[in-house]
Each structure stands twice: as structure tokens, then as C-alpha cells.
Chains A and B, each alone.
Chain A
Amino acid sequence: MRSVKANAPMNHLHAHDNARVKSVLPAALNAQLMPASRLLPESQSMADAELTHILKNGLETGVLHELRCQQSRDAGALVGFAFGLLSRLKQRETKPVLWISAPFADTCNMTLFPQGLANWGFDPARLVIVRPLTVMQALWAADEAAKCTDLAAVILHIEGHPKALDMTATRRLSLRASESGTTSLILRQAGEEEATAATTRWCIAPHPSHRSRAEMSSEVNSVLGHDIGFSAVFSDLERNRHGATSSAPLIWNHQIRGFRYVADQETRTTRPPAAVPQYSVPGAFNGQDQPPALGQVVAFQNTLERAS
């Protein structure tokens, strides 16, 4: 009993959409992000529908990027965004992708779902999963993999801020990546902002798709009125070594396997009000940037004496 949805042409929507996007985003961003190799190849038919300014002209291959999400339950959006990028990464290539799942990263008791990956546009047969026992082993594996020229990308999936993954480690990863030309991604689940050697850092959050549903209702003759629209994520480019940052909700267009902006102008510039989590899970468990504990630590004996 699958819901049925009519398949309507979407292309004119993108063209119209993109015209506005170009005018809104700063031109400087476009100019500064011009490295030699590009993550996304120039594609003719969908060039206008892509994330023209940031992704296609910007995201470098052969360097280290970091993607993070604030809460573990946003892992879906994070992993989806990463695989969205990977499936755009030289789409015709069949080189394998190495996914290194550091210990504790699977504390949420979840695994990648091959059918879901295929559904999302990524061939699961290209994926090799490494499950090391310690963070040090995970870093070693990432190092080795980043040296390998025979890979499309290396993904290091971690939770929080392990102490071993510091500036030195990320710097080494980034150097290895630039030597071999293998794109490296750090997926930091439930992570805070941390200084790393990554070229860009993105904060990914889920974004309601019902905004795009408004567009869809005019375009698509939906049989069931309350269908979920295209998946959307709020991507926040927090840090960019080569220039400006930007933040915008993006829609993953499943048909063409590409991202595009949400047409609604207001949601693009401002971030949706972040829901206050009912249970704030600390992002770091053994990180180095922990705030000091409140109050003064006094010997128990002293306190007793003072009280008496």
C-alpha cells in the first residue's frame, strides 16, 4: 500500500529558483572559491539547479572537510548530506568509499542501511566499512586510507570530540588527503565547534520539508494531501578557509540527485529557531575544550570544620 504520487516535471522550477539565488548570494564567495579541482563536475542540464555558488564551484576534492550535527538524533540529516555529496562526487566513478566508524559513533545503535543508500543515490557495493576497536586505530585507519589513491573518499564517523582527534591529527589527515587527492570527510555526530585543520566545516541540521510542500502542491498533483516532500537539510557553512561562509536550507532533489535551495527567501537567510533540546547531551566526553566545573573544590574536612 504505497502512496502514489504523480511524477511531474520539476525543471522549470529550478531554473526560476536559481535566478534568485544568484542575486542573493555574495559574489565574493564565488570568486574566492576557485581551486583547481572541483567536487562537482560541470554538468549541463542541471547546472542551474545545483548549489551553484558553494558546492559546484567551491567544495574542493582532495582535502579534508568536516560535517557535524548538534545532536545524535540528527544523524540522519548528517549522513544523508554526506552521501548526497558523495553521490555527486564524480557520479560516474566507481571507486570504493571507505567508511570508518570510530568506536562510540554507533552508540545510537544504528548502521548504514544499504537499501536506503541505494535509494538515496549511492551504490552500497562501493562502500567498505571499517569498525576499529579504539579511536587510535580509527585514526590510523583514516591515515592509511587517506594515503590510498584508489579511493573516491574516506569518511571518518565519530561521536563528540575524542581527544586523539586534535589539531595535529586533523592536520595530518588533511596533508595526506592533499598528497593523494582522496577527499576526506569527518562526520562529527553530536559535536560542538572545534578548531580543526579541515578546509570547511558544515553544521547540518534537519529542516522541515513542508515548506517545499507548498511548492509541490502547485506542481505535483498529490494524491494524499499530507505527503512528505523532498528531504531538506539546513546546511550551515560555519568555517571556510578560502573565504566567506553562508547558511541555507537545501533540498535534496531525489530525481536528479542534487541539492538546490529552498525557494522561500526568508528561510534561506535565517536559521530556523533551534528547538531547545529537552535533554541536552554533552557533545564531548573526553574532549579538551570542556568548560571548567562550577564552584570551588574544597576538602571535605575543611568544610566540616568551618561549619562547626
Chain B
Amino acid sequence: MSAVNRPACAAGLHKHQTLTDARAVFPALNCYDADDHADQTLLTVIADWCERYTPLLAIDVVNGLPGLMLDITGCAHLFKGEEQLRADILTNFKAQGFRTNAAVAPTPGAAWGLARFGDPEAPRIINTSNIREQIGRLPLEALRIDGKTVDELKRVGLQTIGCIMDMPRGPLALRYGKLLLRRLDQALAREEETISPRMPVSELASERQFVDPVSLEDDISRAILSLAGNLKPCLETKGLGARVLVLKLFRVDGERRTLNVVTANPEREPAHIVQLFQDRLSSLHHPLDAGFGFDLIRLEVSDAEPLVQQQSDFIARTQAEDGFTALVNRLGARLGIDRVQRFAMNDTHIPERSFRAMPAIHTPHAKRKQTQATLALSQADELQALDSQLTRPILLLNQPEPLHVLAEVPEGAPRHFRWRKVLYEVKASEGPERISCEWWRDGRYALTRDYFKSEDSNGRRFWLFRQGLYERETHAPNWYMHGLFP
């Protein structure tokens, strides 16, 4: 058995018992399969919800005991003190049907021990002045050490942490290992211990709590506007602009929705930020379910870049609502940043590898490098367009499509071909243009391509290739369609 509830405990059952034994003790036992994955998910959801108290939060599972560790340094005053904060957490969990133990202590180790093994009557909030006294009363299990060490210590009559607190360190370390001393030091704040938060901490965050939960989209927009207004001076003093903004909406019943928005250029204008989130909200696949309303809204800047202040003049139009970057931002916010693309060039001769589509948001128009093709073009401009022939099609098939081809000679241009079930008669051809394979990528026996530009009787111009050199690489080369010329 991996867990028992309270009535079962009262009936004399305990963890790690076999089911047969338990049934012998208590025949009418209800048992369910343990689902570690669901437990984990539940803990994650609870952790999400707890982010309302502090951004520094870790899920810690020590010795199979799940729990959450919240670093409330500098946060407690927002909830009118540690006592109130703890009470708030306990009430909220109780309202949702969880039985929770919570403790506040100067060190993570002390808080862990106190929450799990503390005496019900003892104070659950301790500070540096009474940490020795309170921790000293706890049993040895509260030190986060393995059961074997605990048993050995108990066998020699050491029952509480207080017993080993002032013992000579040398023999203790020699007999029970260094971990014991380390845990002791961590609990008593002799050694620094930090928790590793589950989410990277955002650069800046602004939040607002609502006494009356909000649920209308207008209200949410207004809240975002005011939060972005709070963030703006902070960003200005740091000389930054937000690139990635995360909006966290905490629902009354413990759900949390997260929306994020990526901007093309650093941004800190509240009105623009609200506009982006409005686009994002209206494009949601599952519309935002406000339920009984959101009682906490937080806006975080999770990525920021330096934003240089620009002097605007009266003549030049300010780059505002109708600018190109604003357009890309809006399209990206609504359709998804992957759906707004620019071409980037790769250094290769294989046509389908020579380019890739990149999200336009990551390649700002102003900063973009001149692509190879552009370079080639501008050079061609200077040389009065010496390359007077069209050698590349304007449309490329995503995947070269096999053709049935009849050619006069094996090495020659096609005479007829059948593509997508239609027969085309070739009237004229140019080529071949030979493109060798990339042996360093495709292997030594990859086939060479001979490209032909062929025109059919109606004037359609196609880009086809024969794969493999006749008799040198293959005896039956295949033909493929690869593009359409204008």
C-alpha cells in the first residue's frame, strides 16, 4: 500500500503494508490503484496556483514525501504578515478539500521538518531567535536523512535533533556520514541552501489582486493596461523593452491560465501591449473560461532587450499603429508567431535546402542581413543583368514528384512526360544544369541531378530533373518534377 487515509490509520493500517495483511485487519477495505503520474500532475497544478504567493517556488519530493517549497522572502507583507499568509494558504487549501501542513522558517530544511514532524501545539512560524529551540525538539526524521541513519541513531539513544545538535562533529561525521552534518547545518542556517524554482524568474512582474473577481474581457484589458503602465517606468529606468510578455490569470477556483505574447521589437507602450493581448485573447482556440472570475492577474516580462529612446520629430510619422513591426506583432499574436515567416538562405546548391522559413518576428526588417540572393541580385544590377536567363523556377514543389518520362536519348531532354496524371508534350528544353549531391550529408552514393527547363505545347514551363548519371551511377535514372517557371 502506498498511502492510507486517516480512518484507515485509525483502524491500524499503515503504509508499506501488503494488501492481504491490510484486508486481514480490515476486510471492508476500499482500495484504488496508485497513479503516480496523476499525483504529479495534481502537484503541478497546485504549484501553478501557489504562484500567486511568490514567483520563487519549487516542488520538492524528499524521501517520497511530496510538498511545495515557497520562498516568501519579501512577499509576506503583501499578505499582512507571515501569520496571515500561512492562514490564507491553509484556508484556501481546506476550501478545496486538501489537508495541508504548513510552516514558516528561516531555512528550507527547518520549514520542511517543522511542517511534517512538528508538534501540533508547537508554533509553526519560527524565526532565527527560536530556531535552535524549536528544531531541537523535532525527531530525527525531520532532518531529511535516510531511514537507515535514523534507525542507527535511535539505536544509540539519540531521539531528537536536539540530541545531536551540539555533539562533536568529527565522530558524528565519521560514524554516520557527512550528509547528516550537512542537513543539520542547513536546517540551523549554518549553511546556505537555496531552492531551485520550477520556472525561471521573470525580469519584472506586476500584479493586481481583486476583491471582486473580474470576468469580463474589458475588465481584463483594463487590468492589463494598468499593469503595463506599472511596468513602463521600471522598464524605462532599466532602458529595456519587453520582447516576451506573459499574462497569468488566477481563477478563484484554483485554475490558472497563461497567455504569452512575443513582439518583434522591444516594446513598453501600455496601449500596444494591451492591443497585442486583445488579439491573442480573440484568437484563443478555447475561449478564456472565466468561471467565477479571476482574483489575481499578473503581467510578467520574461524576456527583455535594450530599447534605445528615439527622438521623434514632427514631420516623420511615429512608428505606431500602422507601422510594419506593429503589423507583424499583431499577425504573430493572433495567428501564432510560426505562421508569419521570412525566408532565410542556406549555403547550399540543393534547391530545396537552399532556404528555410523563419518566424519573421525573430528577424527584424531593419536589422536583417542582406541575403545571398539579394547580393547576387544587386551585383547583377551593376553588371547590367548579365545573367539574362531564368534558371530558377518561381514555385518549388515541397517534395519532388516522380514523373513518367519518355526521352529521345537516355542523357537527353524529355520528349513527353506525365505529371499528376496529365500528359505533357515538350516543345523545347534547356539544360541540363548539373547539381551534384552533397556527399558529406547524403552519403557517398547519393545521385547527381540533371535539371532541365522544359516548355510544353501550351507554354507552361517546368523544372524537371533526372536523378543519377546514366551508366555511371545508375542504369534506370528516375525523373522528378521540381518546380514551375512563370
* A interface residues (Cβ-Cβ under 8 A, vs B): 1-3, 5, 7, 73-77, 79-81, 83-84, 95-96, 98, 109-121, 123-125, 127-133, 137, 140-141, 144-145, 147-151, 180, 205-210, 213, 224, 226-228, 231-234, 252, 254-257, 272, 275, 278-279
Q: Known contacts A123-B374, A151-B324; is A117 also within 8 Å of B394 by CB? A: yes
Contact of A275 among B360, B389, B458 (CB under 8 A): B458
Chain A residues near B100 (CB-CB < 8 A): none
Instruction: State A76–B456 Cα separation when bound (angstroms).
Output: 13
**Chain A: CB-nearest residue to B429:** A226
Chain B residues near A83 (CB-CB < 8 A): 394, 486
Q: Which of B41-49, B304-312, B338-346 contacts A (4 or more CB under 8 A)?
A: B338-346
A148/B324 in contact, CB under 8 A: yes
Instruction: State A129–B343 Cα separation when bound (angstroms).
Output: 8
Chain B residues near A150 (CB-CB < 8 A): 322-324, 327
Q: Which of B154-162, B206-214, B328-336 contacts A (4 or more CB under 8 A)?
A: B328-336
Give the top 9 A-B pairs by smallest Cβ distance, nearest first.
Answer: A80-B486, A76-B484, A118-B373, A113-B396, A208-B459, A150-B324, A206-B459, A116-B392, A116-B394
Whole-angstrom distance between the Cβ of B364 and the nearest chain A Cβ: 11
**Chain B: CB-nearest residue to A72:** B420
A125/B343 in contact, CB under 8 A: yes
B371/A124 in contact, CB under 8 A: yes
The B interface, classified by DSSP as helix, strand, loop or mixed, is: mixed
Whole-angstrom distance between the Cβ of A215 and the nearest chain B Cβ: 15
Chain A residues near B334 (CB-CB < 8 A): 137, 140
Contact of A141 among B331, B387, B399 (CB under 8 A): B331
B428/A213 in contact, CB under 8 A: yes
Instruction: State A47–B392 Cα separation when bound (angstroms).
Output: 28
Give residues 277-326 of B contacting A (CB, 8 Å).
283, 322-324, 326
Chain A residues near B399 (CB-CB < 8 A): 109
A147/B322 in contact, CB under 8 A: yes
Whether a CB of chain A sits under 8 angstroms from the CB of B432 is yes
Instruction: State A81–B84 Cα separation when bound (angstroms).
Output: 72
B386/A112 in contact, CB under 8 A: no
A120/B428 in contact, CB under 8 A: no
The number of A-B residue pairs with CB atoms under 8 Å apart is: 223
Q: Known contacts A83-B394, A144-B327; is A113 also within 8 Å of B351 by CB? A: yes
Contact of B486 among A131, A224, A252 (CB under 8 A): A252
Whether a CB of chain A sits under 8 angstroms from the CB of B457 is yes
Chain A residues near B236 (CB-CB < 8 A): none
Report how many residues on chain B are interfacial, defined by Cβ distance under 8 Å. Answer: 71
Whole-angstrom distance between the Cβ of A222 and the nearest chain B Cβ: 11
Give residues 380-410 of B contacting A (CB, 8 Å).
384-399
A81/B486 in contact, CB under 8 A: yes
Instruction: State A201–B448 Cα separation when bound (angstroms).
Output: 44
Instruction: State A221–B66 Cα separation when bound (angstroms).
Output: 84
Chain A residues near B385 (CB-CB < 8 A): 254-257
Whether a CB of chain A sits under 8 angstroms from the CB of B376 is yes
Chain B residues near A255 (CB-CB < 8 A): 384-385, 388
Whether a CB of chain A sits under 8 angstroms from the CB of B460 is yes
Chain B residues near A213 (CB-CB < 8 A): 428
Contact of B341 among A77, A131, A275, A278 (CB under 8 A): A131
Whether a CB of chain A sits under 8 angstroms from the CB of B455 is yes
Whole-angstrom distance between the Cβ of A203 and the nearest chain B Cβ: 14
Whole-angstrom distance between the Cβ of B92 and the nearest chain A Cβ: 39
Whole-angstrom distance between the Cβ of A171 and the nearest chain B Cβ: 21
Give residues 438-469 of B contacting A (CB, 8 Å).
450, 453-455, 457-461
Contact of B373 among A124, A130, A278 (CB under 8 A): A124
A118/B376 in contact, CB under 8 A: yes
B341/A128 in contact, CB under 8 A: yes
Instruction: State A228–B254 Cα separation when bound (angstroms).
Output: 69
A-B contact pairs, 30 of them (CB 8 A): A1-B433, A73-B420, A73-B460, A79-B486, A109-B398, A109-B399, A115-B351, A115-B373, A118-B377, A118-B392, A124-B355, A124-B374, A129-B341, A129-B342, A129-B343, A130-B331, A144-B327, A144-B330, A148-B323, A148-B327, A149-B322, A151-B324, A209-B461, A228-B455, A231-B486, A254-B389, A254-B390, A275-B457, A279-B421, A279-B422
